[in-house]
Amino acid sequence: MPATPSQQGVDDVSERTQQNRSEGQSPATKAGRRLAAQLAAQKAAEAKRRRQAWAGGLAGVAVVAVLITVFVLVGGGDDKPANQADSTPSASASAPAPGEAAAPPAPQLPAGADPALGSKPTVEAGKGELKKLAVTPVIKGTGPAVQKGQTITTNYVGVFYKDGKEFDSSWKAGQPATFAIGVGQVIPGWDQGLVGVTVGSRVQLDIPGELAYGNDEAAAGGRPTGPLRFVVDVLAAQ
Question: Please, which residues bridge with residue 157 across strands?
Answer: 169, 231
Q: Euclidean distance between the first and final Cα of the chain, in Å?
A: 161
Q: How far apart are CA 213 and CA 226, in angstroms?
A: 7
Q: What would the 3-class secondary structure string for 94-118 be?
A: CCCCCCCCCCCCCCCCCCCCCHHHH
Active site (catalytic) residues: 156, 167-168, 187, 213, 230
What is the chain's alpha carbon radius of gyration, rounded to the nearest angstrom?
A: 55
Locate the DSSP E strands across 80-193. 134-139, 151-160, 166-169, 177-180
